[in-house]
Structure 1
Amino acid sequence: MSLLKRTRILRRVQTLWARVGLRARLEAFILLALLPMVGLVVVLLLQERNQDIGRARDATRLLADRGAQQQAQIVQQAHSVLQLLTLVPDIREASPGRCATMLKQATDLYPWSTGFGVFNPDGNLLCSSNRSRPMNVGDRDYFREALTTRGFTVSNFLIGQNSKQPRVVAALPILGDDGSVIRVLLAGVDLNWLAELSVEIAHESGGTVSLFDSEGTILARVPDPQGIVGRSMADHPMVRKIMEEEAGIIEDDGLDGIPRISGFSTLEETGAKIVVAVARDDILAAADRNLFLGTGVMAGVVLLIVGGVWVLMEVMVLRRLRDLKASAAFLSSDLFDPHAPCTPAPVHPSEFSQVAQAMRTMGRTLSAIAFEDRLTGLANRRFFEAHVERLREQPAQDQTAIAILYIDLDGFKPINDQHGHHTGDLVLKEIGDRLARCVRQGDFAARLGGDEFAVLLSLADAHQAHYAMDVARRIINSVSAPITADGFDVRIGCSIGVALWPADAADLSVALQHADRALYAAKRAGRARVAAYSDLPTDNAMVN
């Protein structure tokens, strides 16, 4: 940003600040003083909000870890139970009748068990706790792994054929004296712990518990209003992130499209994932209520203070200042009475700035009286000369091109001779109004005296001579229109001389002389003419 542009912005800010009243300044100061306190309260509330999110994140992760631990404990317990059962001779030998009875007793003893069974190495069922129909599991991965490793194995999660609920199968080979596998003892492990964990989570936060197998298929979900259990969600963005890590926390849209905070953990032996998710908006609801409540209380306090200051300023300060301003306005009016008091009440020193502003207003009023042509309302010669001097003193980088139009009325003197000076004054007043309508806002029009006028046009660049000529012709047409003054219909015209600064002269004073010379050339050419200095013959033009 250039220095000139920064300076202009600073001036605009200073101008705007100068227009702000004392009451507004005081209230702005109070607001600035209260701003740190308001900011502190908001920061504390936002910190509390973030802490609520952090606690929710930690809670979901802990609950997921607890579910994984419970699963690991149950699998470990199943391993221990299978080891004990392999020591029972009736089970090792798969004795008809007694084997099934003992396995049924074991099933009733352990709540996590869905049943036990003894199979031969070919995978055929020999005895079980809850079925007598023939069955073969020889093609199952966990069964073949148990035969190969001759050790304890656990299957991936399977969906029960009857219960349609997810479960795992634990397998432990029974070895003979020579170390070969003679039997395989299987135990079905249910997910009762998942339901218990879901009830706890639903009671505390209204969240969900989901179980995914290692391929991203939903094995269980509580609650499941969408009915998506059994569907593969491997393509869902959240599920993909979960499958890439062993454990962690994710903030993303859940399977139902609701933004959720999800903690997850991997279940040992199976590679499955347990995911505990809570709705982010539910967690933040209480924090947002506190934030809105705290912000509302602070806003109420600020409004109360600002309102109190507003009333106090009105009662204690501004009424007296208005009396002073009224006195200053009275001084600047035509009804000034030297015997009237300047102010009806004493002034406190802190209000002097407003008094000074009122006095400056009075000065501007008096200045307008001194520099305004009282007849036409245009600037007078004194103001014109002061304006020209200001233009000359401007820095080169701030100067803009100027078109100078010198105007002299044609046929005005006979009006005074025939109808009197009162009618002539009315005509001049109408001419002043018409000149003001012919120029843009920001251009300068003045009455130099008698029937002589001047117009200064601001140009975008020094090559806009055509615009100056267009304005000159517009003025000629406007002035030449009939005028009704004091009951008489009169017609006059005008001649105009045009010069450009700095195109016609680098010195503004010389450019004014050129405009005057062009005016007389126009008058010599006849009535209602406009002449540009640049179009004058060389012998009539002054070379600068």
Structure 2
Amino acid sequence: MVWKRKGFRGLVAFVSAALVVGMAGLMAQATSERSRRQIEQEIGRSLSEVAHQMVDKLDTDMWARANQVSVLSKIPAVRDPAVAQKVVDELKARDPTVAWVGVMDFAGRIVAASDGILIGVDASARPVYVEGLKGLFIGDVHDAVLLAKMLPNPSGEPMKFVDVSAPLKDEQGTVVGTLASHFSWEWARAIQRSLLESMKGRPGLEALIVGANGTVLLGPEGSFGGKLDLESIRLARGRHRGWGVEEWPDGKSYLTGVAFGSGHGDYQGLGWTVLARQPVDVAFAPAELLREDILIYGGIFAVVFSILAWIAAGWITRPLSAIASAAKRLRDGEPGVEIPALGGVAEVEDLSQSLRALIGALTSSKAALARMEDAAYQDRLTALPNRRFLEQYAESLSNRPGRGIFTVLYMDLDGFKSVNDTLGHQAGDIVLRQVAVRLASCLRGEDLVARLGGDEFAAIIVPAASGMPARMDEITQRLIAAVGEPIVIAGRAVRVGCSIGFAEWPNHGATLPDVLERADRALYAAKRLGKNRAVAFADLEAGLLDAGAQVATGCSGRTLGLAAFP
């Protein structure tokens, strides 16, 4: 990804939006956590209270039922089957929680029973009879065995009972029978529904009753009879009461309140544990909703504040933008640009004045340096580079990595002295300037032509961009032809010629002066051979030039070796 530069204005807007979003995120997280803790305490206490109320109600009701059966068992008339029948029918009619109540003789045969159900049946093997002979007995929840098919069951669900029985004694205190009662477990369901109804503002709330052996006695559909082993149950049996977040066997987390049934009065209880639970995601939904609201409003505020920051940053950065724009135009070389003089904010005013003074000083220094550099490296008459610049250029070429071969041309004008003698030095200066322009126009941008002094010029020719050697015959022909064109001075056509000698670096010298000296020797050979021509030092060195040799001039030059120099 390519990142573009951001302006100060955009940066301010972006940072403002980021800060608002970050602050909203932190506030949402902190508020959500605090709300979760508060909700956990609030709901946890209410769940614990529900569990306590339910277990207290169960223990109180069981205590009342046990006392009811115990009191009836002490009435002498109950030992009479006829009287007992009237008593159990009346008890059944007045207490809807009584599923069945009956009297058994000492042998365990039922002699009186509500609605006449099971009269004459031998119940001597049933715990309600066996334990009832010993004293007041309160049994835990169990399935209906004998009564399942005899009692009405509108719900169709399996029938559950809680047994209470007490011994019947004669005047001498001898046990002669048992009074037994089966209380419907729907009584516990009624208590559960009543408490949950009062908490219907808590969605997902459920209550469970767990027996002393960990068996679920009452709970959500399908949970009855299952085993439940939770840390909260173990804590409750240690008489701890409270709440906490706990993972249940179904893999879900619940906020759970717990209470243990420790009995009531002389009733010691059956070791029941009541749990009230609510799914964590439901319980903490208000906190999550609050967090989402904060994030939403934070996003809205981020947009609003970023727009306001954009507007404010535009006002703040307007003077800085003016300074930056002027500085960029100065960098691009646009003439006549000045740093604007700005007021208002003290820092901006100081910056503006300091930059104006600095730019002024730099401009003056640059102009002075430019003048000094021009004087040091430029020929004042022709505006061409001078010998000093030529030497530096040659040195830079020779120091480049992968250096190769470049060619140095030494050029002298033919017939220039007669122009000075006949037309004057002013005309000679005109000729030199025209020749300089023509020489420069014949060369490429990477080549260099310089004036050495008088009517002498030098040039450095580098290889083409493709790396192929330059054709020196074509280059020298072009230079000689360009110089030979007439020059009009005061209405008079003047012609001069050009003799060229050239040598190669580093083949003909390790330094530029060495190569120039070889090129100068080739130049004088060209003069001796008739002028207005080019001679290569390589040919001169090889002895290819003698008095009778035909050296190319004009349009017939020689192609000499030239290698690219990087």
Q: Same fold (TM over 0.5)?
A: yes
Change in Cα spacing, 1:368 to 1:112, as seen in structure 2 (3 Å) is: farther
Matched, 1:76 2:63: yes
State the partner residue of 1:56.
43
Per-residue deviation, 1:122? 4.4
Measured against aligned partners, the alpha-carbon deviations of 1:413-469 in whole angstroms (never above 9, x if no partner) come to 25898x97778764579xxxxxxxxxxxxxxxxxxxx999xxxxxxxxxxxxxxxxx
Match of 1:216 among 214, 217, 221: 214
| Larger relative contact order (CA 8 Å, sep ≥ 6) | 2
User: Is the CA contact (8 Å cut-off) linking 1:70 and 1:193 kept in structure 2?
Assistant: no
Corresponding residue SS for 1:336: coil
Distance 1:361 1:297, change over 3 A: farther
Match of 1:342 among 327, 331, 339: 339
CA contact (8 A) 2:105 2:176 kept: yes
Once the two structures are overlaid, the 10-residue window that deviates more, 189-198 or 241-250, is 241-250
Given candidates 111, 121, 134, the residue that maps to 1:126 is: 111
Q: Is 1:156 paired with 2:140?
A: yes
How far apart in 2 are the matches of 1:256 and 1:30? 44
CA distance in 2, matches of 1:428, 1:133: 133
Structure 1 regions of 5+ residues with no counterpart? Answer: 1-15, 371-404, 430-449, 453-477, 496-526, 529-544
SS in 1 for 2:140: coil
How far is 1:157 from its partner?
0.8
Match of 1:242 in 2: 233
Deviation of 1:75 after TM superposition, in Å, equals 0.9
Equivalent residue number for residue 327 of structure 2: 328
Where do 1:454-533 residues align within 5 Å? Answer: 481-482=467-468
CA RMSD, Structure 1 to Structure 2 (Å): 4.9
1:506 is aligned to: none
Q: Which residue of 2 aligns with 1:277?
A: 277
Instruction: Indicate conservation of the 8 Å contact 1:426/1:485, yes or no.
Output: no
**2:57 and 2:191 in contact (8 A); partners too:** no
Code of the residue aligned with 1:342 in structure 2: it is I
Distance in 1 (CA, whole Å) between partners of 2:253 and 2:144 is 32
Q: Secondary structure at the match of 1:157?
A: strand
Q: TM-score, normalising length from structure 2? A: 0.56
The alpha-carbon deviation at position 276 of structure 1 amounts to 2.0
Whichever residue aligns with residue 103 of structure 1, its letter is V
Once the two structures are TM-superposed, the CA of residue 145 in structure 1 deviates from its matched residue by 4.2
Instruction: Name the SS for the 1:249 alignment partner.
Output: strand
Q: In 2, distance between residues paired with 1:291 and 1:218?
A: 37
1:259 matched to 2:253: yes
Q: 1:194 aligns with which of 184, 189, 192?
A: 189
Give a deviation string over 1:330-374, Cα, whole Å, max 9, x none. 33332322xx553275463344698699899989x999999xxxx
TM-score by length of 1: 0.58
Q: For structure 1, which segment, 55-64 or 112-121, has the greater mean C-alpha deviation from structure 2 after superposition?
A: 112-121
Counterparts of 1:57 and 1:360 in 2: how far apart (Å)?
74
Distance 2:169 2:93 in 1: 26
Q: Which residue of 2 aligns with 1:43?
A: 30
**What is the alpha-carbon distance in structure 2 between the residues aligned to residue 51 and residue 248 of structure 1?**
15
Deviations 1:359-401 (A, max 9, x none): 99989x999999xxxxxxxxxxxxxxxxxxxxxxxxxxxxxxx
Deviation at 1:135, TM superposition (A): 3.8
Tell me the distance in 2 between the aligned counterparts of 1:416 and 1:73: 127
Q: Tell me how far apart the structure 2 counterparts of residues 416 and 139 of structure 1 sit (CA, whole Å).
A: 138
Counterpart amino acid of residue 331 in structure 1: L
Question: Distance between the aligned counterparts of 1:332 and 1:211, measured in 2?
Answer: 85
Asked whether the 8 Å contact 1:166–1:219 carries over to 2, the reply is no
Deviates more, 1:348-357 or 1:73-82: 348-357
- Is 1:112 the counterpart of 2:97 in the alignment? yes
Contact 1:175 1:182 (C-alpha < 8 Å) held by counterparts: yes
Higher Cα Rg: structure 1 or 2?
2
**Which residue of 146, 154, 167 maps to 1:173?**
167
Aligned partners of 2:84 and 2:112 also within 8 Å: yes
Number of residue pairs matched by the alignment: 389
Partners of 1:117 and 1:129 within 8 A in 2: yes
Q: Is the 8 A contact 1:74 1:112 kept in 2?
A: no
Identity of aligned residues (%): 11
The Cα of 1:258 is off from its aligned counterpart by 4.0
Paired AA for residue 272 in structure 2? A
The verdict on how the C-alpha distance between 1:122 and 1:480 changes in structure 2, with shifts beyond 3 A counting, is farther
The Cα offsets for residues 135-161 of structure 1, whole Å up to 9 and x where unpaired, read as 4444445654444xx432211111234
The amino acid that maps onto 1:125 is I
| 1:201–1:230 CA distance, 2 compared to 1 (3 A) | closer
Question: What is the DSSP-based 3-state SS (H/G/I as helix, E as strand, rest coil) of the residue aligned with 1:204?
Answer: coil
CA positional deviation for 1:199: 5.3
Q: Secondary structure at the match of 2:89?
A: helix
Contact 1:169 1:188 in 2 (8 A): yes
1:205 aligns with 2:190: no
> Deviation digits for residues 192-241 of structure 1, max 9, x if unmatched?
2423433542633232223333333333334x2xxx1444234xx64x75
Q: Whole-Å Cα distance in 1 between the matches of residues 473 and 296 of structure 2? A: 70
Report if aligned partners of 1:45, 1:290 keep a CA contact under 8 Å in 2. yes
| Distance apart, 1:328 and its partner CA | 1.6
Task: Give, as a single letter, the amino acid of the residue that structure 1 aligns with 2:46.
Answer: A
Q: Give the 3 Å change call, closer, same or farther, for CA 153–483 of structure 1 in structure 2.
A: farther
Distance 2:274 2:123 in 1: 27
Shift of 1:114: 1.9
SS in 1 for 2:403: strand
- Equivalents in 2 of 1:345, 1:261: separation in Å? 67
- AA of the residue aligned to 2:274: I
